[in-house]
């Protein structure tokens, strides 16, 4: 309670919460796209499990905060560029996102109906498979989230509260966002394109090329705005017909 009598603590909480929400957009977007591949009666369950997993992983990593901070220490160098365990995790997560988003785009644009040709053995997506993939990306985003939190405040209670607020917002927004994406086919392709972009950013970050997230989210917001105008135009034409 003494901590929260300090105005700077409240400022840190608000700032960190906003940052966590922004970072959570990537996580939520992936959960929405992936869960929409399931039968309708199982989608909400997969989203809840995925978001709960994100919270649990964040709290576990927060408890191991000393170990998490050590992940930023370089463990080897290639051509003078040091790589830490965090870098390797971001690169692996980025490659996974690129592979997953690209395979989904391939499946959408494939004129012949059938299972994804990049995954010929997977004809039907199971709830377990979706949850496992969500949790794998949860781990990547959670580590990035914790490291961001450590860089903004030293107070663990503030980190915990910010993460609880963020996950609560994710729980509320998950179904409406996923339903909106599912109801608008062009939004699906836009969301997958965003995932390709996010995967590329994770890989670049892993290689030490830090792209300001504000630029990325501004570009994503502008793309979403343009798509919103296209949707309004299509609805206006449909009403005239």
- Give the C-alpha distances (Å, rounded to integers) separating 52 from 62, 142, 153: 15, 12, 24
Mean pLDDT on 108-125: 52
Distance separating the N- and C-terminal Cα atoms of the chain: 62
| pLDDT for the residue numbered 120 | 43
pLDDT band at 94 (very low <50, low <70, confident <90, very high): confident
Q: Choose among 186, 191, 202: nearest CA to 29.
A: 191
| pLDDT for the residue numbered 119 | 46
| pLDDT for the residue numbered 2 | 52
Neighbours of 34 (CB within 10 A): 24
Q: b/e string for 62-83 if b means 16 or more Cβ within 10 A?
A: beeeeebeebeeeeeeeeeeeb
| pLDDT for the residue numbered 157 | 79
pLDDT in tens, 37-89: 888 888 888 888 888 888 888 888 877 776 776 777 787 888 778 888 888 88
Q: Percent of the chain beyond pLDDT 90?
A: 0
**Angle, CA 161 vertex, CA 8 and CA 90 arms, to 5°:** 100
How many angstroms separate the CA atoms of 62 and 241, rounded?
56
Report whether 181 contacts 33 (CB < 8 A): yes
pLDDT band at 111 (very low <50, low <70, confident <90, very high): low
Query: What is the number of residues in the chain?
Result: 241
Q: Is the pTM of this model over 0.85?
A: no
């Amino acid at each position: 309670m003494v901590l929260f009598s300090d105005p700077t603590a409240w400022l840190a909480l608000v700032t960190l919460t906003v940052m966590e929400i922004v970072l959570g957009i990537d996580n939520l977007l992936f959960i929405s796209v992936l869960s929409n591949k399931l039968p309708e009666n199982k989608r909400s369950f997969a989203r809840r499990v995925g978001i709960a997993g994100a919270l649990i992983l964040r709290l576990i990593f927060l408890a191991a905060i000393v170990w998490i901070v050590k992940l930023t220490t370089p463990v080897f160098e290639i051509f003078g560029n040091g790589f830490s365990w965090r870098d390797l995790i971001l690169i692996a997560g980025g490659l996974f996102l690129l592979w997953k988003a690209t395979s989904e785009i391939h499946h959408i644009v494939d004129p012949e109906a059938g299972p994804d040709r990049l995954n010929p053995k997977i004809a039907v997506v199971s709830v377990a498979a979706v949850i496992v993939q969500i949790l794998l990306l949860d781990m990547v985003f959670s580590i990035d989230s914790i490291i961001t939190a450590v860089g903004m405040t030293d107070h663990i209670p503030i980190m915990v509260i910010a993460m609880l607020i963020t996950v609560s917002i994710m729980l509320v927004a998950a179904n409406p966002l996923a339903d909106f994406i599912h109801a608008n086919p062009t939004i699906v392709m836009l969301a997958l394109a965003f995932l390709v972009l996010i995967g590329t950013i994770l890989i670049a970050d892993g290689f030490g090329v830090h792209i300001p997230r504000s630029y990325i989210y501004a570009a994503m917001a502008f793309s979403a705005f343009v798509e919103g105008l296209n949707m309004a135009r299509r609805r206006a034409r449909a009403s005239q017909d």
